[in-house]
Structure 1
Amino acid sequence: MSSSTQDLTPQLYLGTTFGALFIGVNIAAVLFGLSNIQAFIYFQTYNGTGLSFYKLVVIWLWILDALHLALIVHCMYYYLVTNFGNINALTEIVWSFKAQIVVDVLIVYAVHLLYLYRIWIISKGRSRAIPMIVGIIEILCSGVAIALILTVFRCSVFKDLVKTQWATYMALGAITFVDVVIASSLCYLLATARTGFSSTDSLITKLMAYIINTGCLTSICSMAAIITCAAMPKNFIFLGVEFLLAKLYVNSCFALLNARHYLQPTTDTSNSYQFNNRHEVYHPELDRASQDERPQASQKDVCKFPDHEMVYPTRSVMSKRPIEVTIQMDSFSSV
């Protein structure tokens, strides 16, 4: 046994090194199953719309997600099965570990670009300053990701990877910062798009809650990786947490694309009910029996739709802005 191997052997405790990576791979596989379910729900919901941009995005993210899982599974198989008991192999960085970082970066920035596209759509008809600022921040942070990839590919053993923790801090910190900027921008644009109509404002509030929850989930994962890397730099717990980051980004993106599946039916039903009631016309030629049945039917409809607060806007209230905001909300939550 060489002297370099003897130096690394006392520090190589499998429980907090490759055991942590093994647990991370198992949790990542569960998250991949959730992303499969969400992708299936999305295609079932919009199965009659033909091939669209968002469907291509879902397919692309699913392929990257499956590739990322295959790479980390190969990484664990290489260390724990192929080279079982081979200490020299455990200290080296296998090619699949380096490749999964590249796929991880592609997934994160693909989701960020999709959110940036959403910001561009929502800001239509208003100032383009916010999407331009977010785009500049995204471009600047991409340089940090390139630096991380180059640093990892220069490392041949895990001991070198521990010495370059600054790249991990910068990359995860930049990702967290972009998450906060994107979530804040989307929430600001949606909050300023309120119209005063209860149905539209309720949909805006629910979408804001979706954005905040998904943004917090990925940011918490990034911060957990940074904290574990700073507190325990000599084990691989932070790498196990990093395995989950790509899966959480894919699931958060799919959840936002499926937001209309969970939110829109109730809103559409309520709106159609209000629309029918506003356009109800009294026909004096109807017989008395039909007139007696109409209040009972209306009472049943009120019981069926709890949100029965009626809004009768005048002509001065129906300005261009509410209509424009409604169109923007449809473009935000539809394919």
Structure 2
Amino acid sequence: MEGLPADQGFDARPTIGALYAGSLASVALSAVLAIQTLLYFMFFSADNIRFKGIVGWVWASDTAHTISVAVAIWQYGVLNFSQPQYLLDIAPALSATVALTGITTLNSNVFYGWRIHRMSKGNLKLTIPIGLLAVTRIVMVIFLSVEMILCETWALISLRFKPMLVAALGISAATDIMLAATRYFFLRELKQGYMGVPEMVDAVVIFTINDGLLTCTIVVAAIICFALMPQNYIWVGIYLTLSKLYSNSILVTLNLRNWYRHKNRPYLGPQIDYDARMRRRTGAQTPTEDYHGKGTGSFIGGRAESSRADDDDVESVEVHVNQRVDYTVRVLPVGYEFEGMGRPGGRSGVRADYPPRPSR
């Protein structure tokens, strides 16, 4: 990477400019993730602790990535503002950014791999290759991060480890394609078998395709830019956004449950809205009845009195009711799970088991 003094025509646009652009996009996507995290804990407070732990870890790793990006920009653009030759070196914070990108990518791969494992009823022929690709990539990324710290310059890294860097990015793209294709296959099977939820399945199918194509496109763009223009930071700027896309993908998938849950609920007018607000303010609770005629002890417009942990294997339906005006009842098919994640949790309605659980 060539670094020339400003009076000899040094062009900052493809170097420090690309880093600035990538960091701005990265911070913007991190803000989107923070909003999604807040929405998740607002709407899915009754979710299993497992999902809450996943969301917390995704947010924490994303925050660490954002901090490392900011420190790297500070090292390149502020501490060494008048030293263009420093662009030939690898800032320590940038090495940390590469490692954290590998971790966030692993988060996404494990999350979707686990869901595919659930949807495929434990088909190891699908999940083992996905797991091997994910582990191979994280090992390569951690190794490259350590070597970036030891080598200190891009020239040395490019000379010694360019094939490995391209291979790591290629494995990432291959994993994205495999995950998206497998999820698409099972979602199409779900739509054909359960005609009661076509809109929800269509929405998840569209998101799955777009998500896989987007991350794969970003990875391929980074590979092309690195192969054709290794002397600048355009590929690094593109790479900085990759971690955010993976993290946002997980949160969008979880929050998509709430979109479907409320999509077809009719607007009941200002009086009903006022009554709901008053019930929330006063803490009033009105029991509702499930399909078996038993009081559930739950209420709409506030938190349920108690919520049990989700049993992902229980045949279930979700019913939306109101104490004064009946909503349109949305019945999920028997055995339905939201892409391998079990029943949606939260406070948007009253759950009932239908048919009753078999005795064990």
TM-score range, shorter chain: 0.7 to 0.9
Give, in whole Å, the separation in 2 of the partners of 1:197 and 1:93. 53
Greater helix content: 1
Q: Does 1:247 align with 2:239?
A: no
Q: Does 1:258 align with 2:255?
A: yes
Q: 1:11 to 1:128 in 2, by over 3 A?
A: farther
Q: Does 1:157 align with 2:167?
A: no
- Whether the 8 Å contact between 1:118 and 1:332 is mirrored in structure 2 is no
Name the structure 1 match of 2:25. Answer: 27
Give, in whole Å, the separation in 2 of the partners of 1:329 and 1:86. 52
Give, in whole Å, the separation in 2 of the partners of 1:172 and 1:254. 23
The Cα shift of 1:217 comes to 1.3
The structure whose Rg is larger is 1
Partner amino acid, structure 2, of 1:35: L
Name the structure 2 match of 1:334. Answer: 344
1:182-233 Cα shifts (integer Å, max 9, x gaps): 1111111222234554322332222111111111111111111111112212
Q: 1:119 to 1:240 in 2, by over 3 A?
A: same
Q: Does 1:323 align with 2:360?
A: no
Name the structure 2 match of 1:18. Answer: 16
Q: Which runs of structure 1 show a deviation greater than 6 angstroms over 4 or more consecutive aligned residues?
A: none
Q: Does 1:215 align with 2:224?
A: no
The Cα shift of 1:61 comes to 1.1
Deviates more, 1:134-143 or 1:202-211: 134-143
Name the structure 2 match of 1:98. Answer: 95
The Cα shift of 1:96 comes to 0.6
Give, in whole Å, the separation in 2 of the partners of 1:330 and 1:223. 29
Task: Say what the alpha-carbon RMSD is for the aligned residues.
Answer: 3.2
1:110-156 Cα shifts (integer Å, max 9, x gaps): 111011111122123x6443223322333344443344334423321
Match of 1:112 among 92, 99, 109: 109
Q: 1:79 to 1:175 in 2, by over 3 A?
A: same
Q: 1:328 to 1:214 in 2, by over 3 A?
A: closer
Partner amino acid, structure 2, of 1:45: F
Name the structure 2 match of 1:318. Answer: none
TM-score when normalising by structure 1: 0.75
Give, in whole Å, the separation in 2 of the partners of 1:50 and 1:197. 24
Structure 2 counterparts to residues 44-123 of structure 1, below 5 A: 44-47=42-45, 49=46, 52-123=49-120
- Whether the 8 Å contact between 1:176 and 1:223 is mirrored in structure 2 is yes
* Runs of 5+ unmatched residues, structure 1: 270-277, 280-300, 312-321
Equivalent pairs, count: 285
The Cα shift of 1:50 comes to 6.2
- Whether the 8 Å contact between 1:194 and 1:204 is mirrored in structure 2 is yes
Structure 2 counterparts to residues 278-293 of structure 1, below 5 A: none
- Whether the 8 Å contact between 1:68 and 1:104 is mirrored in structure 2 is yes
The Cα shift of 1:64 comes to 1.1
1:251-301 Cα shifts (integer Å, max 9, x gaps): 1111111110112334788xxxxxxxx99xxxxxxxxxxxxxxxxxxxxx9
Structure 2 counterparts to residues 125-140 of structure 1, below 5 A: 127-140=123-136
SS in 1 for 2:89: coil
SS in 2 for 1:323: coil
Q: 1:257 to 1:333 in 2, by over 3 A?
A: farther
Q: 1:333 to 1:214 in 2, by over 3 A?
A: farther
SS in 1 for 2:251: helix
* Runs of 5+ unmatched residues, structure 2: 267-290, 293-324, 346-360
SS in 2 for 1:198: coil
- Whether the 8 Å contact between 2:118 and 2:340 is mirrored in structure 1 is no
Q: 1:178 to 1:191 in 2, by over 3 A?
A: same
Name the structure 2 match of 1:38. Answer: 36
Q: 1:64 to 1:12 in 2, by over 3 A?
A: farther
Q: 1:177 to 1:46 in 2, by over 3 A?
A: same
Partner amino acid, structure 1, of 2:119: I
- Whether the 8 Å contact between 1:162 and 1:234 is mirrored in structure 2 is no
Partner amino acid, structure 1, of 2:344: S
Give, in whole Å, the separation in 1 of the partners of 2:203 and 2:239. 29
Q: 1:171 to 1:12 in 2, by over 3 A?
A: farther
Partner amino acid, structure 1, of 2:203: K
Give, in whole Å, the separation in 1 of the partners of 2:73 and 2:133. 35
Give, in whole Å, the separation in 1 of the partners of 2:263 and 2:78. 52
Give, in whole Å, the separation in 1 of the partners of 2:156 and 2:60. 31
- Whether the 8 Å contact between 1:121 and 1:332 is mirrored in structure 2 is no
